[in-house]
Each structure stands twice: as structure tokens, then as C-alpha cells.
Structure 1
Amino acid sequence: SQMGVPEINAFLSHLAVHDQVAASTQNQALNALVFLYRYVLYQDLEGDINPIRAKAPERLPVVLTRAEVRAVMDQLSGQHLLMAQILYGGGLRLLECLRLRVKDIDFAQRQIVVRDGKGMKDRLTMLPTGLIEPLREQLAAVKALHVQDLALGLGNAYLPFALERKHPNAGREWIWQYIFPARRISPDPRTGKLRRHHYDETMLQRAVKTAAQKAGIDKRVGCHTLRHSFATHLLENGYDIRTVQELLGHKDVKT
């Protein structure tokens, strides 16, 4: 707690220059330190965290054709299908999709609100018309599950940041429930409280990878591939690159 931004910059720069770690490893270290100060030490970091950056390997993203996307979707069903359709239809990252809550879906405006995305920024993206009815059905099933949890004295969803301290009962409200909840109740590692967390990301990753293999697609396909395909297909359809950048939540148009 006696150290601050200068020490963090020095440590992260050491990782890049001396240890020559990958950019992803340096980013993980940065995220862990930010989490430590924000959620464990409850301290604000003053100043800019701007270390010498580790070089990221330059790789072209894997993109599926529209036919390949359909082939992957044909191999999925249930929640896995709906989640994959949201990844592709809205360009969401994996955890952005799994962390969606009831209040983040705007059926009237056909929009999805992505909260606390990369860089801790909120953004709006599109909700395809074809997903409205499946999402309504998913919400109906989740609401029934939430009612059961409440009857058992549970149903208290994890709340971000300090909101739970200010409004300790807000987590029981319907709007805060995850759209894709976990199948089982488990203890919150921070507090020990029993909660229903969001769906396990490894399960969806495995389902998408398996679906691509069953579809006979000879590419390295994962959940992020659907996001890349979303962006590519929008550009092919004539969307302005700045619009696509905003939908993806990219800070730099080059990415």
C-alpha cells in the first residue's frame, strides 16, 4: 500500500525489458495490480500508468465467411447457440456477453448496453431482430430460476464496485440478474456468500470450438472469431469503419 504508480510503471517495464514477457502477460500483471488497489486496498492510483510496453505479436485475426458462421451455429443449441449469436450479432467479447444483465437489453431500441468493457468503458451495440424472441424466452426462464432462488433465501447477484455497500439489497432485484446464470450456486470468493454467478466461460469456449470442428471448418475458431467476423461482415456491407470501431469498443481504429 506504500507503493503507487511509479513503482507499478517500474515493475511493468521490468517485465517487458528484462524478463521479455509477452504483451498478454504484462497486461495480466497490470490488471491484477489495478484489481489489488481497487478492490483489496481500496486505494485510488494517482497518475498515469504508462510503462514500457511489451511487444504484441502481429497476427492476422481469423475470420469466418457467412456460410461458415451459419455452419457453426447449426452445430449449437440452447444457451450456447444464443450466446454465440450475441457474440456474432453484437460483436461482444466473451466475458462481455456472459456478464450481461437484464437491464442491459433494450428491446425497444434494439440495443445491447455493454458495461465496463475493455478499458472500463460502456458502449452500445446492436441487438439483431432475430434474437429478440430467443432472448425474451431466455429471460422468462431466468426469471423463474430467480424466483426459486429468492424462495431459498438466495438470488443476490454480485454487484459491481461499491454499489453493494451502498445498496445491500439491490442484488436481489430482477434487473441485476445475469442473463446467462451459472447452473449451480457457489460461494463468492470475496465474501463467502452463496450466489449464482454468470455462466462459465470455458464451457462456451469449448462448445464453439467443438461446433467449428463438427462443421468441418479448418480454421482456429474460438469465441473471439465471431467478434472478428462481425466486424468484417459489417465492413463488407458498407458500414463506416468509425461506426464499426464504436460498436466494437476499440480505442484505436487500427485494431
Structure 2
Amino acid sequence: MNDAHNAAPPPRLLDQVRLRIRALHYSIRTEGAYVDWARRFILYHHKRHPAEMGATEVAAFLSHLAAERNVAASTQNQAKAALLFLYREVLGVQLPWLDEVITAKRPRRLPVVLTPHEVRTILLELDGTMWLLASLLYGTGMRLLEGLRLRVKDVEFERREIVVRDGKGGKDRVTVLPENLIRPLQDQLAQARSLHTKDMADDCADVWLPDALALKYPAAARSWGWQFLFPSPVRSTDPRTGVIRRHHLHEYTLQRAIAGAARRAGIVKPCSPHVLRHSFATHLLQAGYDIRTVQELLGHAEVSTTMIYTHVLNKGGRGIRSPLDSI
């Protein structure tokens, strides 16, 4: 009787979602997104428990996102994935009908690409760490978070290459290390080493490691090689564990810096760190590099994904001669 009275209540539904996501080692970004979609789904249906709902309610919610909220196809598909996870992994409900809910088709958009002159003008508007990060993304084709998550051990100066760990799809790859960035990166290493030395003295030098690595190599978190190449100037609290440690720079820092630099340079195209990746690929193809080589550097699973940059090359500009120029 007393045991039943003292038994802890089961976790709330959203906490169960969090626990299941962590058990499956999903990223903290996925955790935040899935919990948020589960909350929105529940609120949309006036706080009814998902176990009491089914295909009709899920379809109504996804339709609401598309028809009334005008969300992008990728956003609607993320919501569907989150609800699929909620039912299958948390509630233990197999939902063949959820697979039949129509998935929004993502429109095929041509990427925004800067000219070499525009890239140069943006870089001239930046300095310090922001210049180095922007130059690194353009010079290597890395995604924003791939650049920010670089570890000291993954920069190979002698081999002139950078190893990108756990990229999109959980894959590793190798990309080029630009000769012009060797000295600036060595200076950045010296600054990061100084912060690490300070953290060691303060006994808080453990860096975040993926769960499996943290368990297998518990001492690696304090080692120099595993430290972030672009550490944050301040320490922060890990939202999952409560541990105070130094993480990498926040992505918003570079996003704001590049947007501001493009505005000051008078560039009217929408500019983000990812535009530098698009420009890297396009400029390599313009220089005559094989598309398979560009595919490997970008980490695309299929060459068809890389092919979109050939559309940027061949449509307009110097790709074709307008008939107007012939009369």
C-alpha cells in the first residue's frame, strides 16, 4: 500500500518524448524540434492526449500547417516525422495510416550563388574570427555547423585537408584545406589553446563528445585534440546534463555577421553561410573540376544532388547566348 502510494508518477508525455530521443542518441536539435511539434499538435486539438487521436486529427493538423500557416514543404514534412516518432516510439502505436498521409513535395529551387567578386567583397567586410569562418566555409564547401564543430585533431596541415566528422547523414568525408588559410588557422589554434589552458586550470576543460565516444573514451573530453577549433568565448550549461563547459561558437553569430557584411557591400541577394557552400561548388565547376570530385567534397550521397549546380552554370549568364545578341 505504502509502496503504491510512494511510487513516482510516470513522466509527462513530452518528457517521455525527450527520454526516448536521448535513448536513441538523436541530436539536441532534433529533440527540440520533435518536442515542439508534439506540443503544437496537442494544443491544436485543445490539449487532447495523442493516444485518444488518430489519422483524422493528424491529417487535420498537417493540412492546417499547409493551408493556414503556409509553412514550407520541408517544415510540414518535419512535423509529420515528429508525429510519426511520437506514435511509434513513445506511444508504441503502429500507424500504417500515417504513412499514407500525403507528404508535401519540396519545390526544386535553384541555389543562390555569389560571383567571385561578390564573395571577395563580403570577406573584405569581415575581420577576425568571422572572416576566418566565412573564408573556411567558402574555401572548403562545409556546412555552417560542420565548420563550427571542427575539432583540433581534424585539421591536417601537412596533408592540406580537413576531415569533416559526422556530417549530414552521419557520414565522414575529407575536403580541401586552402593554402591561404593555413597561417590564420594556426593563429586560431593558438587562441583556442589559450582558452583550453585556462579551462584546465579551472577544472572545467571537458568538451562535449557524442554519447558513445564519451563512454568509450572518458578521458578524451579533456584532451587537446578533441577541443573545438572555434570555441565560444564564454562557458555555458549543457541543457541535457547541466554540466558547465565551453561549447563552440553559436551559429547565429556568423549568420548575422555575413548578412551584415552583404548589406554593407551592397549585395542584394539573400546571403547566408550556406550561400558560401553553393558558391564553392559552382566556382569549382566553373573552373573545370569533375562533378564527382565536387560531389565528394560536398558530401552528397547522390550525384543528382550536385547536378543542381550545373543548372546554375547553364541557365542564363554565359551559359547560352541570347538570340537578342545575334540581331
Task: Specify the TM-score bucket, using the shorter chain as the normaliser.
Answer: 0.7 to 0.9
Equivalence for 1:90? 140
Gaps of 5+ in 2: 1-15, 21-54, 91-98, 306-327
Aligned partners of 1:31 and 1:98: how far apart in 2? 27
Are the counterparts in 2 of residues 94 and 224 from structure 1 also a CA contact under 8 Å?
yes
Are the counterparts in 2 of residues 61 and 225 from structure 1 also a CA contact under 8 Å?
yes
> Shift of the alpha carbon at 1:168?
2.1
> Shift of the alpha carbon at 1:210?
0.4
Identity percentage over the alignment? 57
Aligned partners of 2:122 and 2:154: how far apart in 1? 26
Query: Does 2:206 match 1:160?
Result: no
- Pairwise mapping of residues 1-255 of structure 1 onto structure 2 (< 5 A)? 20=66, 22-26=72-76, 28-29=78-79, 53-255=103-305
Give me the TM-score of the superposition, normalised by structure 1. Answer: 0.84
Task: Name whichever of 20-29 and 105-114 sits farther off.
Answer: 20-29
Name the aligned partner's letter for residue 116 of structure 1. D
Name the aligned partner's letter for residue 144 of structure 1. S
Are the counterparts in 2 of residues 26 and 54 from structure 1 also a CA contact under 8 Å?
yes
Aligned partners of 2:167 and 2:236: how far apart in 1? 25
Give me the TM-score of the superposition, normalised by structure 2. Answer: 0.66
Are the counterparts in 2 of residues 22 and 55 from structure 1 also a CA contact under 8 Å?
no
Equivalence for 2:49? none
> Shift of the alpha carbon at 1:19?
5.4
SS at match of 1:251: coil
Are the counterparts in 2 of residues 61 and 228 from structure 1 also a CA contact under 8 Å?
yes
Q: Which has the higher contact order (CA 8 A, sep 6+)?
A: 1
Structure with bigger gyration radius? 2
Aligned partners of 2:218 and 2:236: how far apart in 1? 19
Aligned partners of 1:82 and 1:168: how far apart in 2? 31
Aligned partners of 1:35 and 1:106: how far apart in 2? 39
How many residue pairs get aligned? The number is 239
Are the counterparts in 1 of residues 62 and 79 from structure 2 also a CA contact under 8 Å?
no
More helix by share: 2
**RMSD over aligned Cα atoms:** 3.0
